Structures are given as structure tokens and as C-alpha cells.
Amino acid sequence: MVNFKTIAGGEIFGANYEINKSRFLAHVMHVESEEAARDFVQMIRKKYFDATHNCSAWILGERGDKQKSNDDGEPGGTAGNPILETIKKQELTNCAVVVTRYFGGIKLGAGGLIRAYGHTAALGLDSSRVVRMTTFQKFSLTLEYNFLATVENYLRQKKISVANTDYADVVTLELLLLPQQTENFLTELNDLTAANFLIEPLGEILIPVACE
């Protein structure tokens, strides 16, 4: 799996910018598909139907290989592309940005438009919660109850996530480990339990981790 940076899901982030009486509004959202990106753009256009322009760009895919921008009536290359380049500069993917403009009566010129749309997009992204989709390895760990307290204390110390716990005749923990943790974890677990455990790999999963 490819680790990548994206916007946290579940909310729309935004920012405002004003220059020469033109007002710019940025809206940023995590998206997983072209359909979701188009729906987001249409939602913003519908909300700000009275705006002069609703320009947009998005990048999709773990490797950021699907990209699209739209100038929505602004001179070619002065709106959608600066938004797109701003997303690329921050190395984000699965991200859509719409910058809405209310024209204030003073023309900004091509260079001014490029700077204004790029800057507004950057403000929107700066206001967003950025996460890194990180590869974790899943394991099912089964052990006797007499080892549980010791192992749970170890897991807390090492900040290893427990996704699920099943209490039956024996206890089974579903663990999430970074790939670089695995070898040392198995060695120390062997010492803690005198090898009295059963562990089974369950594959890999991408999990959002907040970027500092």
C-alpha cells in the first residue's frame, strides 16, 4: 500500500480572502472518486449560485495520478490551474478545492488572478486537517488470561493500537502495528509470555494519522 497525505474526511474546510474588492471563498473536502469530487463542486456552485465564478481542482488516487481543474469562465489557466498547483505543492491527494469569486468591479489581470486563486486555495488547505494515510499491519493475538495484564501494559507503553478484543476461553486481541514495529514486537512478546501465544497476520490496512 502507498502512504499518502490527504484531507481528513467528514467535514468541509474553508477560508476567505479579499483583494481589490473581489471576495474569494475557498472550500476544501476529502473525496475518494471523480463522482464525489464532481458532486462536491456542484454542491458549492449551487450554494453560491450568485457568485461570479466557482473555480475548482481536484487530485485523486494514492499516487495522485488523476487530476482535473476548471476555470469556470475565468481566462484560461488563471484559476483552476493555480488551485491545482497549490494542491500539488502541498503533496495532497484525494482532495477537492473550490474557490468562489465575487467580482468587486476592479479587474485583477491574469497575474493577479493566478495569485489570488492560488493564495485562496492555500488558505483553505492551511485551515484543513491534514492526515497521512499510513500502512498498518493487522495481527490477531491469542493468549491465556494470566498474560493479559502484562501484555496490555506493554501495548500501552509502546502505543500499539488494539482494534478489537474478544474475551472467550482465551483472549484474542486485534492489533495494529507499523511495519517497522513488527519484528521487535514479536521478540519482546516472546519474552513477556515465554512464547505462550498464538499470532496470525490479517493483512494490511491504511489508517489516517494526523500530520503534525
What tens-digit pLDDT sequence spans the chain (212 residues)? 679 999 999 999 999 999 999 999 999 999 999 999 999 999 999 999 999 999 999 999 999 999 999 999 999 999 999 999 999 999 999 999 999 999 999 999 999 999 999 999 999 999 999 999 999 999 999 999 999 999 999 999 999 999 999 999 999 999 999 999 999 999 999 999 999 999 999 999 999 998 86
Q: Model-level pTM?
A: 0.86
Residue written as cell 488494539?
162
Within 13 A of 46's CA, how many CA atoms are on the CB side? 6
Residue written as cell 465564478?
53
The answer to whether 96 touches 31, Cβ cutoff 8 Å, is yes
Domains of the chain: 4-128 (3.30.230.30), 132-210 (3.30.70.240)
Q: Exposed/middle/buried for 40, CB within 10 Å: 0-12, 13-18, 19+?
A: buried
Q: One-letter amino acid identity for 4?
A: F
